[in-house]
Chains A and B, each alone.
Chain A
Amino acid sequence: MRESLPRSVLRVAALVRHDLRLHRADLTPLVTMTVMPLLIMAFVRPLYLSSLSTRYGTPPDGVPFTGAELAVPGVAVIFSFFLAADVGYGVFREHGWRTWDRLRTGPARPFEVLAGRAVVPLLVLLVQLTLLFTVGGLLFGLRVRGSYAAIAAVGVCLALCLVAFGFVLVALCRTVMQLNVFSNVAALLFAGLGGTLAPVEQLPGWVQALAHVTPTYWAMRGFTGAVLDGDGLGGAVLPCLVLLAIAAVLTVAGLNRFRFDDRKVSWS
């Protein structure tokens, strides 16, 4: 028996509201992953300033660099990766509370459960990126030479990519410890490969070659294009398209591997 779309939308909306309540009941991850990178930005800004001087010499528009041009997007991208596991923790939490079987035997269809579990982590990532660019920018003197809309577009595409990455992690990991370890290792690995710790052109040649397949590289390229090079929305098109393509590949891979009847081992 086929069901009407509105009923399906209602169920996804119910799952989203439910996930919002669960997130609201414990804001620690979002608060920590927003405050901590602001502190880190303060530590690394001098290093990034020196890197910018090496890369550009004098600023093209004559306004001195502050280091925030690389520190804010770089640290934001690293810490957004740390939140990529949020979607996975949501699934493991259901297993730990033994509510996953309740979802499986409830009225929602599998794709509705997954859709309902993706929306809030996406919103959390968007809130985190927005706060980091806004507060970090104000605190450390970030001057955007190009388009704010380009930054927003890249941020949305990066967040989509990270949610898809989170689904791959939860599909692959059997225990929450595995999820924890793999998500942290991946965050640091992609941070290094993608040029968030140091500009890609200053990295070894083999790393530069690998960088082009990482979402961090394309996110940094999009962000720094708008911040440093004065790019408008047009300049963000390629990074956005690549990020969306990576998100699509990760989504297909995650869905292909994900099994609703897999038993996951959680902490509780």
Chain B
Amino acid sequence: MTESVHDTPSAIAGSQSCVGRGGGVALDLVGVTKSYGDVHALRGVDLRIPPGRITALLGENGAGKTTLMSLVAGLQRPDAGRIAVTGHDVADAPGAARRALGFAPQELGVYPTLTVRQNLMFCAELAGLRRGAARDRTAETAEPLALTELLDRRAGELSGGQQRRLHVAMALVHRPAVLLLDEATAGVDVRTRTALLDLVRGLAADGVAVCYSTHYLAEVESLDAHVAVLDGGRVIAHDTLSALVDRHARGALELTFHGPVPEDLDLPWPTRPTEDGLRVLADRPHEAAARLLELLGPTSALSGLRVVRPDLEAVFLELTGRRYRDEGSPADA
């Protein structure tokens, strides 16, 4: 089977996109709170995304990312706070808000007995397009996601990555002003990941506000997105990637030892104990690593050394005190 990943994602947004409503703010969350019994999933979340901006929601499992997406999509109601999509309040005008929104949830949702074309046509027709227009839109949406060759294949016969692309395409076919992508690249191959990330960049360039939830720090860096760090149901930082790195990231060395940390260790940098060793704070961690090895000498009890560059991972570490884990974290929200 041949697949080609095209580099023209902006074709999807096009001139008829409903981008631009909502007075400069495409997605607006004010004081949004949601609990499940005693579990506080979101605590007073404020978030504004203007048209054309990619905002990555970053946080461990249970941080509240999926809950936030579900509330914006209208699948659940917040306990408190207000959510508006292109100026339409999700609670008061759900129909108008939904029409401005495209949502690709984490779990795949396609019709396996129908062809790719029929899946896309359905979404286009449901958005109010007539048959001819829906056909055109289907073709336009399929192309940048490398689905053109697959249009007459049943969705159930596609690979996981192809189904993921169809899943995202179904959320885009009506040209939403706001696109919610929840773990859009979970479990896909490199080619599909590249296609999806290119698509997201293209959509943002065409004015679509993208809210992108992910576990993968490298994707956020690749998208050069604004970053909203969620921890314990709160947005603990929200800014451009470079601003967050400038403000919060500090290089470090993480040391582990055979046995406990030696008490007589005297290093020329500030240090902090960690669960399994010691963190050495150094602005130039690579240079510090070489110097450190010299200082400790070959007979030291050092068992491991990890260089933490001043990047998004370091930001997360600095803000939460924990190293970023991309899977399996206990629900802390």
- Contact between A107 and B114, CB atoms less than 8 A apart: no
Known contacts A3-B95, A11-B128; is A98 also within 8 Å of B107 by CB?
yes
Assembled-state Cα–Cα distance A7/B170 (Å): 20
Assembled-state Cα–Cα distance A104/B127 (Å): 13
Q: Which of A21, A105, A109 contacts B75 (CB 8 A)?
A: A105
- Contact between B125 and A106, CB atoms less than 8 A apart: no
- Contact between A98 and B108, CB atoms less than 8 A apart: yes
Q: Which of A14, A25, A98, A261 has the most CB of B within 10 A?
A: A14
| Number of chain A residues close to chain B: CB under 8 A | 26
The A/B interface has a contact count, at CB < 8 Å, of 73
Chain A residues with CB below 8 A from B73, complex form: 101, 105
Assembled-state Cα–Cα distance A64/B103 (Å): 65
What's the nearest-Cβ distance from chain A to residue B158, in Å?
Answer: 14
What's the nearest-Cβ distance from chain A to residue B218, in Å?
Answer: 27
Q: Does B105 contact A (CB under 8 A)?
A: yes
Secondary structure at the B interface, as helix, strand, loop or mixed, is: loop
Chain A residues with CB below 8 A from B139, complex form: none
* Residues of A210-255 whose CB lies within 8 A of B: none
Q: Which of A99, A105, A108, A109 has the most CB of B within 10 A?
A: A105
- Contact between A107 and B95, CB atoms less than 8 A apart: yes
Q: Does B271 contact A (CB under 8 A)?
A: no
- Contact between B111 and A105, CB atoms less than 8 A apart: no
Assembled-state Cα–Cα distance A150/B144 (Å): 56
Chain B residue nearest in CB terms to A15 = B126
Chain B residues with CB below 8 A from A3, complex form: 95
- Contact between B111 and A14, CB atoms less than 8 A apart: no
* Residues of A123-152 whose CB lies within 8 A of B: none
Chain B residue nearest in CB terms to A26 = B113
- Contact between B109 and A101, CB atoms less than 8 A apart: yes
Assembled-state Cα–Cα distance A11/B109 (Å): 19
Q: Does B112 contact A (CB under 8 A)?
A: yes
Assembled-state Cα–Cα distance A18/B99 (Å): 19
The chain B residues found within 8 Å of chain A, CB to CB, are 73-76, 88, 93, 95-96, 98-99, 101, 103, 105, 107-114, 118, 122-123, 125-128, 130, 170, 174
Query: Could you pull out 29 A-B pairs where Cβ atoms are within 8 angstroms?
Result: A1-B88, A1-B93, A10-B125, A11-B126, A14-B122, A14-B125, A17-B122, A18-B118, A18-B125, A18-B126, A22-B113, A26-B113, A97-B109, A97-B110, A98-B105, A99-B110, A101-B73, A101-B75, A101-B105, A101-B109, A102-B103, A102-B105, A105-B73, A105-B74, A106-B123, A106-B127, A107-B95, A107-B128, A107-B174
Known: A99-B109, A107-B127. 7 other contacts (CB 8 A): A3-B95, A14-B125, A17-B125, A97-B110, A98-B109, A107-B128, A261-B75
